[in-house]
Structure 1
Amino acid sequence: MSSEIAREGTFWLHSVLLGMAVTLVYDFLRIFRRVFPHGIFWISIEDLIYWCVVAGSFFSLLYLENNGTFRWFCVFGAAVGMLVVKSTASPFLVKAGARFGLWIKKVISYVAGWLMRPVKYTFRIGKNGFSKIFRGARRSARILKKRLTSRLKLAKIALCKQNRKALRGRKNG
């Protein structure tokens, strides 16, 4: 077998493997989206980054193994690799991976909740204690306001009486 044919066969095999790898990476991205659902904006950002990495990977393959020359059989090889993974492993992988990811998320959430019990208890006690303190402070403030208001009224009355006496004294004098 000629070395040129062996090089072309290796190039085609690498393009098939790259197609498989690209599909598996996207499957892991799909698993991540099922485990941690998020909005269309973040999905678009993830897809943009994914496709930039895929384009860079294919460009690297073409540049390193074929001197940057575009070859359709490279695209065909990548498509074959993608179809092989998509039709065999992908459905099982995404379903099982999402279930496993959701289970891990549930376990971590349970453990974190269990570990946070003392903190929650402390905050609940603190909240109840602070609410009692604030309730007492509000009551004291209300009483203080009533006392100050009544004393202010008394002061105004006293000032008015003194002003009246002073005015009478000026008129009489």
Structure 2
Amino acid sequence: MSQEIIIELQFFWVSILWGALILLAYDQLRVIRRIISHNNIFITIQDMIFWILASIFIFAMLYVKNDGIIRGFSVMGMVIGMVLYHYILSDLIVMLISRGILLLLRPLSITIKYIRKGGSFLLKKGKNFLKIILKRLKKILESVKIYLTKYKQKSNNKKAKIHHKNHKKKKSKKKQVPKNRDKNKR
């Protein structure tokens, strides 16, 4: 075989490898999606970002390996790599990695589960405690209001008595003055 054909075959194998590596990277997104649930909008955004980055890496590979020339057999090699990887290894790798991560996270999830149970128990007891405290504070507030109204009534009564006494004294002084005058006149 000539040297040029060997170089082209190597480039074809590199294209197949790049196609498989791109899907391997995409499978990491699939693993994350299995572990953490996502809504469709977030998945769409992730896919767009991934394929934009993948296209940048593909064109960088084409630039380095083939002087930026896009050839049909290189695109076909990437597609072949993606298809082979997808049907042979993709599901197995996603399953193994996601199960392994979930297995490693299992003690953490159990711990979080018990912390949540304890937290909800404490929250429930805390709510009951606060209800009791609020009832007692309401009773105290009512008794303080009652005391203050009685105190106001007593002070108003005292003020009224003092005012009444002062008023009587003023009246009596006014009455005595004319009496004294009457005595002086006699």
Same fold (TM over 0.5): yes
Cross-structure match for 1:33: 33
- Paired AA for residue 96 in structure 2: A
Using the alignment, how far apart are the partners of 2:134 and 2:92 within structure 1? 58
SS at match of 2:13: helix
SS at match of 2:70: coil
Q: 1:67 to 1:137 in 2, by over 3 A?
A: same
Q: What whole-Å deviation, never above 9, does each CA across 1:36-68 have from its counterpart, x for those lacking one?
A: 102223212211221122111101111111111
Using the alignment, how far apart are the partners of 2:55 and 2:153 within structure 1? 82
SS at match of 1:68: coil
Cross-structure match for 1:127: 126
Cross-structure match for 2:10: 10
Identity %: 27
Give the aligned length: 170
| TM-score (norm. length: structure 2) | 0.70
SS at match of 2:38: coil
1:83 shift after superposition: 0.7
Using the alignment, how far apart are the partners of 2:26 and 2:119 within structure 1? 39
Using the alignment, how far apart are the partners of 1:156 and 1:6 within structure 2? 113
Q: 1:25 to 1:153 in 2, by over 3 A?
A: farther
Mapping for residues 1-173 of structure 1, pairs under 5 Å: 1-113=1-113, 116=115, 120=119, 127=126, 131=130, 135-155=135-155, 161=160
1:18 shift after superposition: 0.8
Using the alignment, how far apart are the partners of 1:27 and 1:52 within structure 2? 16
CA RMSD of aligned residues (A): 3.6
Moved more, 3-12 or 60-69: 3-12
Greater gyration radius: 2
Structure 2, unmatched stretches of 5+, are 175-186
Using the alignment, how far apart are the partners of 1:142 and 1:102 within structure 2? 57
| TM-score (norm. length: structure 1) | 0.74
- Paired AA for residue 51 in structure 1: W
1:133 shift after superposition: 5.0
SS at match of 1:89: helix
Q: 1:140 to 1:90 in 2, by over 3 A?
A: same
Q: What whole-Å deviation, never above 9, does each CA across 1:75-99 have from its counterpart, x for those lacking one?
A: 1000000111111111222233333
Using the alignment, how far apart are the partners of 2:75 and 2:156 within structure 1? 95
